[in-house]
Structures are given as C-alpha cells and as structure tokens.
Chain A
C-alpha cells in the first residue's frame, strides 16, 4: 500500500524556518535524511521531494485568449505543501509510525518540531508512471 506523507505550512510558518540557525537547520535536515536512508534500506522508500517556498506559488484556472489564467494571491491561512515522502508499506500503522518520526525531527534548540504530517493513501486505480510501457 502506497502512502504519501505530506508536510505543509503557512507562509509565516515557512518563513520561520529560514530564521533557524544553520546548526538547527543542519540537525533537522540530518534527521530527515537519516529517515530517508532507513526507508531505502527497509525497502519502503518510493520518493521524497522538497518544494520551493510558497513565495512563487501560483494557482492556474483555465485559459483566456489562449493564455493560462494565473493568480498568486492566497489567504493568510493557506497551507502550502513544503515537501513529501512516498512510502510503500504493509499497513497504515507503519505509515503513521514513519510520519511520527518525521514529526519528531529536531527544530530550534534540538526540540522536536512536532509538525503535523498528513498521511494519505494513494487511490486504488493503477498509477500512471514513467515506467509504464
């Protein structure tokens, strides 16, 4: 069963991260990298990706005169995806356990961020992937 673990935050939340000391950021990313390495070793790893900050985010709705209609204004409360992990596990509990570990990654001063991680299963329909003939 494939699950996606989504890490999201508001613009002010994402901005806070950049105010962390380099040491705190290094410790945080080090913990996340260690989780990824463990997932690769256990064979549960599918993919992980970080997204660029929300500053450049756009919403596109249809076309006008052949051009995409873009909008870059979002409500303050809007939750932006910051990054994700895709894991292939045998039970949802295992996906929750991995998400718990990500949430426990250290923040400023080494204290766990306790960031909420949204856990979602992929739809049952066969995913279309690059590997498909």
Chain B
C-alpha cells in the first residue's frame, strides 16, 4: 500500500523557516537526507520532492476562451504543500511511524520540530474511484 506523507505550512511558517540559522538549516537538511536514505535502505522508498516557496504559487482555472486564468492571491490561512515522501508499506501504522520520524526532524536549536505530517493513502488505480 502506498502512502503519501505531506508537510504543509502557511506562508508565515515558510517565512519563519527562512529565518533559521545556517547551522539549524544544515542540521534539518542533513536529517532529511539521512531519513530518505534510511527509507531507501529499508525498501519502502518511492519518491520525495520539495516544492518551491508559496510566493511563486498560482491558482489556475479554465477560461471560456481556453486561456488559463491565473491568480496568485491566497488567504493568510492557506496551507501550502512544502514537500512530500511517498512510501510503499504493509499498513497504515507503518506509514504513521515513518511520519512520526519525519515530524521529529530537528528545528531551531536542534529541538524536534514536531511538525504535523499529513498521511494519506495513494490510489492504486482509477478503479478506486468506482469507474
């Protein structure tokens, strides 16, 4: 079963991350790299990506003329995806354990960040939509 582990944050969260000391940032990145390596070694790793900052985010809607309508204005409370991991595990509990480890990535001063990680099962096929 594949699960996606998502880190989300508001613009304010992204901005506070940008103010971490170089040392704190390096410790966090080193943790994330080691974490991905462990996932690979244990055979559950599928993929991981980090996203660009929310100030580049655009919301796109269809337009009658076929030209996309883009909008870059978002509510303060809007949660932006910061990055994700996809893992292939036996059950949900294993995915939660992995998410807990990601949540404990070090924050400022090396204290675990305790960041919320959203865990969702990924569909195996469109058949899951009842089609």
Contacts and interface: CB of A to CB of B under 8 A. Distances in A.
Contacts of A99: 60, 68
Given A51-B122, A127-B49, A103 B60 contact: yes
B103 A130 contact: no
B122 A52 contact: yes
Contacts of B80: 120
A68 to B, nearest CB: 3
B58 A52 contact: no
Interface of A: 4-6, 18, 22, 25-26, 29, 33, 47, 49-52, 54, 56-63, 67-70, 77-81, 83, 86, 92, 96-97, 99-101, 103-104, 112, 114-125, 127-130
Given A51-B122, A52-B121, A100-B62, A59 B51 contact: no
Contact of B52 (A18, A57, A123): A123
27 contacts: A29-B131, A50-B123, A57-B118, A59-B116, A60-B5, A60-B96, A60-B117, A61-B103, A61-B117, A63-B101, A63-B104, A79-B78, A79-B79, A81-B6, A81-B81, A81-B120, A92-B58, A96-B70, A103-B62, A114-B61, A116-B60, A119-B58, A119-B60, A123-B52, A124-B52, A128-B48, A130-B47
A88 to B, nearest CB: 12
A100 B59 CA distance: 10
Interface in B79-131: 79-81, 83, 86, 92, 96-97, 99-101, 103-104, 112, 114-123, 126, 128-131
Given A61-B103, A96-B60, A123-B51, A26 B131 contact: yes
B16 interface: no
B61 A100 contact: yes
Interface of B: 4-6, 33, 36, 40, 45-52, 54, 56-63, 66-70, 77-81, 83, 86, 92, 96-97, 99-101, 103-104, 112, 114-123, 126, 128-131
Given A50-B128, A61-B116, 10 more contacts: A50-B123, A57-B119, A58-B92, A60-B116, A61-B114, A62-B104, A83-B123, A122-B49, A122-B51, A122-B52
Given A49-B123, A58-B118, A125 B129 contact: no
